[in-house]
Structure 1
Amino acid sequence: MEYNKSLSSCCIRTGLQSCAGFPSVATLPPSLAVCRIGSLPITTLPPSLAVVCCVVVMALLAGCSNDDFSDLTRYLSEVKAKPKEPIKPLPEIKVIEPFMFKPDGLRDPFKPLEQPEQAQGIDVSAGSGIKPDTSRRKEELEAFPLDGLRMVGTIDMKSSLWGLVKASDGTIYRVKVGNYVGKNYGKVIRIVSDKIELMEIVPDKPGTWREQPASIVLTE
């Protein structure tokens, strides 16, 4: 018995036919069927058993080709039978009225601003000469606006009358003539039993200042 060692497929031979496509295979006895991979014999079967094996394999392959779509068909039928949900209407689109810009009577934003009086030849420094002393050190009561201060009494010290002023933070301060109070450079000019008189310096025209009297009245 000879075998073709170059054969790399499985060959089945019966007494009726030889391996198709491999004419160089050695002749085997008709009573044997040899399955070979390369030069290694796998098994030797009688012809009747080989035929049975072929029939079984063909039956299995035929079973794989039997497509059963009954489940899919039933599912599609159920989906189609469900009631369809109504489609929500589109949101209402609000109509926005167009805006028309009317520049009549308004300043042209592309034109430069008017020049200050000083640039037009007017000497704004000329005037009464009144101006605050910004070089001096600020006093404690200048941190509070005047309407946040209240006079709560007076005290006589060394033949001088001092005023007692309560700030918005609850602290009581002593002031005398010459002290500064409030945010407008208010200078204490007189203290009496029921009020403290001040002279403030406030802005007037551009670049000028003016004096303005003010007072802190005693509260009950």
Structure 2
Amino acid sequence: MKRLGLSLLGATFVVVGCGANIDELTQWMEQQKRAAKPNVEPIVAPKKFAPQPYSAITGVEPFSIQKIATGTRVDGGQSNPMLAAQMRRRKEPLEAYPLDAMKMVGMVSRQGRPYALVEVDKLLHYVKAGEYMGQNYGQITKIDETELSLRELVQDAAGEWIERTTTLQLQEKAR
């Protein structure tokens, strides 16, 4: 029993000793709360929006019907004699296909004249210089072992018809 009494007496001193430290601790925490000042930067006020007037309202509207019609006009070739000749002639069968649907798969010579083998829709066509192919009035100008050259008539951004040279490269089949 004596031992139990001594243990209780020791525990009481420990609790009483800690109680004194709790008051000091509470006072220190209150002091720190008063001393601590928050460091929050103020929010910057938003800038006032100043709308700008649309100054291109007097210009040509890019999506107007007149602008689109002018850009894609076919005036019967009156302003361009090359186009007039193209509009009058009869279309050839390979002019129904775009060039990216065609593949040059070979070249042969018949009676000393070069012919290109062009594959379209899994059909082979013999073509020679002077014939037309593609949807841009493309006329074949030269055929050699590795490529076929065309002269095409296309519209530029201003709607004017210009000549452009295009080539169709020889395509080898993957094995």
What stretches of structure 2 of length at least 5 have no aligned partner?
Answer: 1-52, 59-63, 68-74
AA paired with 1:138?
A: K
**Match for 2:116 among 157, 160, 163?**
163
Q: Distance in 1 between matches of 2:139 and 2:103?
A: 16
Residues 16-36 of structure 1 show CA distances to partners (whole Å, capped at 9, x for unaligned) of xxxxxxxxxxxxxxxxxxxxx
Residues 116-138 of structure 1 show CA distances to partners (whole Å, capped at 9, x for unaligned) of 7xxxxxxx989774425111111
Higher-Rg member (1/2): 1
TM-score (norm 2): 0.52
Residues 49-100 of structure 1 show CA distances to partners (whole Å, capped at 9, x for unaligned) of xxxxxxxxxxxxxxxxxxxxxxxxxxxxxxxxxxxxxxxxxxxxxxxxxxxx
Task: Give the RMSD, CA atoms, in angstroms.
Answer: 3.4
Q: 1:207 to 1:219 in 2, by over 3 A?
A: closer
**Match for 1:182 among 130, 134, 143?**
134
**Match for 1:215 among 135, 157, 167?**
167
Give 3-state SS (helix, strand or coil) of 2:88's partner.
coil
TM-score (norm 1): 0.42
Question: Higher helix fraction: Structure 1 or Structure 2?
Answer: 2
What stretches of structure 1 of length at least 5 have no aligned partner?
Answer: 1-103, 117-123
**Match for 2:87 among 101, 123, 134?**
134
**Match for 2:98 among 145, 151, 160?**
145
Q: 1:206 to 1:171 in 2, by over 3 A?
A: same
Contact 1:155 1:163 in 2 (8 A): yes
Contact 1:200 1:211 in 2 (8 A): yes
Q: Are 1:197 and 2:143 an aligned pair? A: no
AA paired with 2:110?
A: M
AA paired with 2:89?
A: R
Q: Distance in 2 between matches of 1:152 and 1:114?
A: 43
State the percentage of identical aligned residues.
33
Q: Distance in 1 between matches of 2:83 and 2:150?
A: 16
